[in-house]
């Protein structure tokens, strides 16, 4: 796995323009779809697919750029929900004792979801199951595996109950 991650970082460094600027997640996703990115020689497991390779690329690149302080925070319409996300962050840290990486990842996923919620929904109570289904369906259509969708749904479930 370390070799795979090292290869991914090499590809990120050679395909994403990192010159004195921050990089947005959308730019990383676009780079992940370039054919040249995945034509490199790499040992893939028998069940590896192009979409799982692209997901790994986005995950590794995002984590690395966040670590470097070069990842541009996404612009979302979740500002109406920032108080709830902050409370969820506090709950995960203080009550659950989760790691900072887990907390960051979960909050990032919730921000993605909140950005997908129609703007007329101003409170958590106004968000419907159909909104959640539409969000999960969009991730499925983007190539997310069933296992990843299950984890994503779990994060959303914990946030609602938390």
- Is residue 57 located within the same domain as residue 101? no
**CA-CA distance, 32 to 16, in Å (whole number)?**
10
Please tell me whether residues 152 and 103 are part of one structural domain.
Answer: yes
Residue 14 domain flag: yes
Nearest to 74 by CA among 22, 119, 123: 22
Rounded CA-CA distance 102/93 in Å is 10
Check residue 90 and give its pLDDT: 94
Q: How long is the chain?
A: 162
Q: Is the pTM here over 0.75, yes or no?
A: no
Whether 57 contacts 8, CB under 8 Å: yes
Q: Would 73 be classed as within a structural domain?
A: no
Q: Kindly state whether residues 145 and 90 are assigned to the same domain.
A: yes
Question: What values do phi and psi take at 121, rounded to 5?
Answer: -85, 110
Q: What is the mean pLDDT of residues 4-9?
A: 83
| 29 vs 108: CA distance, rounded Å | 15
pLDDT in tens, 34-85: 765 555 444 454 455 566 777 788 888 888 888 888 887 765 554 578 888 8
Is residue 29 located within the same domain as residue 57?
yes
Domain shared by 54 and 96, yes or no: no
Domain that holds residue 84: 78-161
The residue among 33, 68, 103 that closes a domain is 68
Are 84 and 124 found together in one domain? yes
Q: Which two tokens stand for residue 17?
A: 């323009």
What integer pLDDT is reported at residue 94 of this predicted model? 94
């Amino acid at each position: 796995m370390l070799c795979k991650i090292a290869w991914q970082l090499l590809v990120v460094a050679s395909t994403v323009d990192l010159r004195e600027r921050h990089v947005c997640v959308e730019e990383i996703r676009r780079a992940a779809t370039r054919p040249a990115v995945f034509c490199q020689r790499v040992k893939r497991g028998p069940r590896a697919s192009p979409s799982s390779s692209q997901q790994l690329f986005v995950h590794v690149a995002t984590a690395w750029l966040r670590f470097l302080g070069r990842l541009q925070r996404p612009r979302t319409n979740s500002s109406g929900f920032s108080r709830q996300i902050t409370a969820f962050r506090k709950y995960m840290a203080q009550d659950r004792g989760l790691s900072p990486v887990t907390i960051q990842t979960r909050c990032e996923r919730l921000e993605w979801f909140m950005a997908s919620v129609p703007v007329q929904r101003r409170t958590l109570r106004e968000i419907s199951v159909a909104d959640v289904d539409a969000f999960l369906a969009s991730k499925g259509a983007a190539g997310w595996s069933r296992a990843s969708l299950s984890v994503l749904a779990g994060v959303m479930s914990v946030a609602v109950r938390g």
